[in-house]
Chain A
């Protein structure tokens, strides 16, 4: 990592308090999250780690407003997400969250420009502005000459850059990346991580969900999950982002 500069974190953006999530699987109830509390401020670069089955994906779905908790409270920029209906959640996702997926999830038959325009379509932006903004963001991620390429005409790294451009285009509060390098070779993966670093330096808030330690080390703060609880959280820089003591004790107790 070229620069390990830690930027000053801003006000609290995500405030999760004691959320749980239960799934019914046949006759069994699976407690994916057993009471997680977490605060994320703007301008943070945070990695959520944990083995499979730790509740990492479930937490990511909660953070990304793709799902609502069974119990507990989730506030996003002061708005209570836990009580929102599907369409309100869709609006939050559209405006506040930029998703980056492991499998890129680009529309296969649409060119880069059209793919990046997609969130703006759902935001109801007029076609000219849309085009202009999508082209600019693609320029920013180094794909200014690939606007009319379809995903199958692009390399894996380029596809992920298109996906990142798509995540950025509606100027979201956070970028939520789920194993963004999982389908890439390590060299390309490092390039993508460099891009995230760059975005962080430019003031974006990034949440990275991964099980790879050498990817997670790019983040400034790491949260470890195990069995649906937070096992550790090193977000103790500048006295911000630290969990309340009792939560840490509880997490320790489950080890």
Chain B
């Protein structure tokens, strides 16, 4: 072991000397690995960024909330079976809550009705289109967590009374009130004024697809008064113990069937959705994107590795006499093998280090220029990149190093 460490240090010294004396060649060869590592690392940061964004987007749904809706959160082939389902009505909330209250040891907390549609929102000369207008009750807060930038959510009194008040998302506030506070101002939706009582803090986008901040939330009676036609309704149900989600689901299925008075022989004509199910639908997509990305960028690293292998072969050829001399002076096979392996590994490590530095600054630059771009540079990534560099070096150096170690000293010494 001590002997191995000794040989390792000596080989390392030889490798460094070799790289120094062949600066141009070493740099050009390392360039292949640099590009490869930059590509893989950037892909790694992007994948990590996507993962974080994905988790953040998923968190919007809450992991302890069940969504009673007409459509399931997954692709369906027999869409016609779903299209003709009876709509979910906000009125279900009341009987559901009554049943929950009457059930001892229910695993459900409360049902919250919501009803939504897309409209434009105006204030003075400013207008924001494609805003999600949502009517709900004051208990909405138990199913959806968000922070307030300013103001508050509407209270139970406003909720029941259907006051013309609303809470607006960050994007809406930003677009309509670029310079002053929207609180106590009235925005126009469909020509109807609604007084802003709160602004929700920035929530970002959902999977980068649409903004979660283009939203206006108002009491359900007010919503129904002005927008009842063409709106989609669903019921959000908070679960008591999220470790027993399946049980809660079964319980809720039974309740909805009762509310809808479905005879036992009929299949469910509604879907109960949850974050976990959505995750498991989207995970394979996300994973295949990650694998495909890493594979393609991995190819560039592979090309870099071939470059190293090539140059190590050339180096072995050029230094055949040197290898012969070293063998004559007592270098064993293992020593020669180690020497060339370490040379290629040192090259790859150098490339990996430079590549990582380049990737780091690129990431920081991108992060500064496009804050919304999902990118995440971590220490784990540095560690993995270095391991990958070493493995690349070992992989690309092995064949040439093996050839070198097997050289016949007599032939090597005579080589011209």
Kindly state whether residue B321 has any CB partner on chain A within 8 Å.
Answer: yes
**How would residues 372 to 416 of chain B score, 1 for a CB under 8 Å from any chain A CB and 0 otherwise?**
000000000000000000000000000000000000111001000
Residue positions of B touching A, CB distance < 8 A: 3, 6, 10, 17-18, 21, 321-322, 324-335, 408-410, 413
Q: Which residues between 75 and 99 of chain A lie within 8 Å of chain B, taking CB atoms?
A: 86-87, 90-91, 93-95, 99
- A-B pairs with the 9 shortest C-beta distances? A94-B330, A122-B330, A105-B325, A109-B21, A90-B332, A119-B329, A87-B332, A66-B409, A99-B328
Contact A93 B413 (CB under 8 A): no
Q: Considering only CB atoms, which chain B residue lies closest to A176 in the complex? A: B328
Q: List 7 A-B contacts (CB under 8 A).
A: A66-B409, A66-B413, A94-B329, A105-B413, A119-B329, A124-B3, A124-B6
Kindly state whether residue A196 has any CB partner on chain B within 8 Å.
Answer: no
Kindly state whether residue A159 has any CB partner on chain B within 8 Å.
Answer: no
Contact B413 A101 (CB under 8 A): yes
Chain A's interface size range is 20 to 34
- CA of A87 to CA of B413 in the docked complex: distance in angstroms? 17
Please give, as numbers and ranges, the residues of chain B lying within 8 Å of A101 by CB-CB distance.
Answer: 325, 413
Among B18, B330, B408, the residue within 8 A (CB) of A123 is B330
Please give, as numbers and ranges, the residues of chain A lying within 8 Å of B333 by CB-CB distance.
Answer: 86-87, 90
- CA of A122 to CA of B6 in the docked complex: distance in angstroms? 10
**How would residues 98 to 114 of chain A score, 1 for a CB under 8 Å from any chain B CB and 0 otherwise?**
01010001010110000
Please give, as numbers and ranges, the residues of chain A lying within 8 Å of B329 by CB-CB distance.
Answer: 93-94, 99, 118-119, 122, 166
Q: Which residues between 156 and 202 of chain A lie within 8 Å of chain B, taking CB atoms?
A: 166, 170
Kindly state whether residue A61 has any CB partner on chain B within 8 Å.
Answer: yes
Please give, as numbers and ranges, the residues of chain B lying within 8 Å of A240 by CB-CB distance.
Answer: none
- CA of A64 to CA of B413 in the docked complex: distance in angstroms? 12
Please give, as numbers and ranges, the residues of chain B lying within 8 Å of A6 by CB-CB distance.
Answer: none
The smallest C-beta distance from B204 to any residue of chain A, in angstroms, reads: 57
* Known contacts A66-B413, A110-B17: A122-B331 contact under CB 8 Å: yes
Say what secondary structure dominates the interface of chain A. helix
Instruction: Using A93-B330, A110-B17, A122-B326 as known contacts, list a sample of 11 further A-B pairs with CB atoms less than 8 Å apart, ordered by residue number in A.
Output: A61-B410, A66-B413, A67-B410, A86-B333, A87-B333, A90-B333, A101-B413, A105-B322, A105-B324, A121-B10, A170-B330
Among B3, B21, B330, B408, the residue within 8 A (CB) of A90 is B330
Contact B330 A95 (CB under 8 A): yes
* Known contacts A66-B409, A66-B410, A122-B332: A90-B327 contact under CB 8 Å: yes
Q: Considering only CB atoms, which chain A residue lies closest to B21 in the complex? A: A109
Residue positions of A touching B, CB distance < 8 A: 61, 64, 66-67, 86-87, 90-91, 93-95, 99, 101, 105, 107, 109-110, 118-119, 121-124, 166, 170
The smallest C-beta distance from A70 to any residue of chain B, in angstroms, reads: 14
- CA of A61 to CA of B327 in the docked complex: distance in angstroms? 12
- CA of A93 to CA of B410 in the docked complex: distance in angstroms? 13
- CA of A86 to CA of B10 in the docked complex: distance in angstroms? 21
The smallest C-beta distance from A160 to any residue of chain B, in angstroms, reads: 14
Please give, as numbers and ranges, the residues of chain B lying within 8 Å of A105 by CB-CB distance.
Answer: 321-322, 324-325, 328, 413
- CA of A109 to CA of B319 in the docked complex: distance in angstroms? 12
Please give, as numbers and ranges, the residues of chain B lying within 8 Å of A66 by CB-CB distance.
Answer: 327-328, 409-410, 413
- CA of A250 to CA of B10 in the docked complex: distance in angstroms? 50
Please give, as numbers and ranges, the residues of chain A lying within 8 Å of B408 by CB-CB distance.
Answer: 67
The smallest C-beta distance from A116 to any residue of chain B, in angstroms, reads: 10
- CA of A143 to CA of B27 in the docked complex: distance in angstroms? 36
- CA of A123 to CA of B335 in the docked complex: distance in angstroms? 11
Among A64, A110, A121, the residue within 8 A (CB) of B328 is A64
Among B21, B325, B330, the residue within 8 A (CB) of A91 is B330
Please give, as numbers and ranges, the residues of chain A lying within 8 Å of B10 by CB-CB distance.
Answer: 121
Please give, as numbers and ranges, the residues of chain B lying within 8 Å of A107 by CB-CB distance.
Answer: 322, 325
Q: Considering only CB atoms, which chain B residue lies closest to A86 in the complex? A: B333
Among B321, B324, B335, the residue within 8 A (CB) of A122 is B335
Q: Considering only CB atoms, which chain B residue lies closest to A117 in the complex? A: B10
Q: Considering only CB atoms, which chain A residue lies closest to B335 in the complex? A: A122
- CA of A119 to CA of B329 in the docked complex: distance in angstroms? 5
Contact A119 B410 (CB under 8 A): no
Q: Considering only CB atoms, which chain B residue lies closest to A90 in the complex? A: B332
Please give, as numbers and ranges, the residues of chain B lying within 8 Å of A109 by CB-CB distance.
Answer: 17-18, 21
Among A64, A91, A170, the residue within 8 A (CB) of B332 is A91
Q: Considering only CB atoms, which chain B residue lies closest to A107 in the complex? A: B322
- CA of A199 to CA of B314 in the docked complex: distance in angstroms? 39
- CA of A107 to CA of B323 in the docked complex: distance in angstroms? 10
Please give, as numbers and ranges, the residues of chain B lying within 8 Å of A166 by CB-CB distance.
Answer: 329
Please give, as numbers and ranges, the residues of chain A lying within 8 Å of B322 by CB-CB distance.
Answer: 105, 107
The smallest C-beta distance from A242 to any residue of chain B, in angstroms, reads: 30
- CA of A36 to CA of B6 in the docked complex: distance in angstroms? 41
Q: Considering only CB atoms, which chain A residue lies closest to B2 in the complex? A: A124
Q: Considering only CB atoms, which chain B residue lies closest to A91 in the complex? A: B330
The smallest C-beta distance from A107 to any residue of chain B, in angstroms, reads: 6
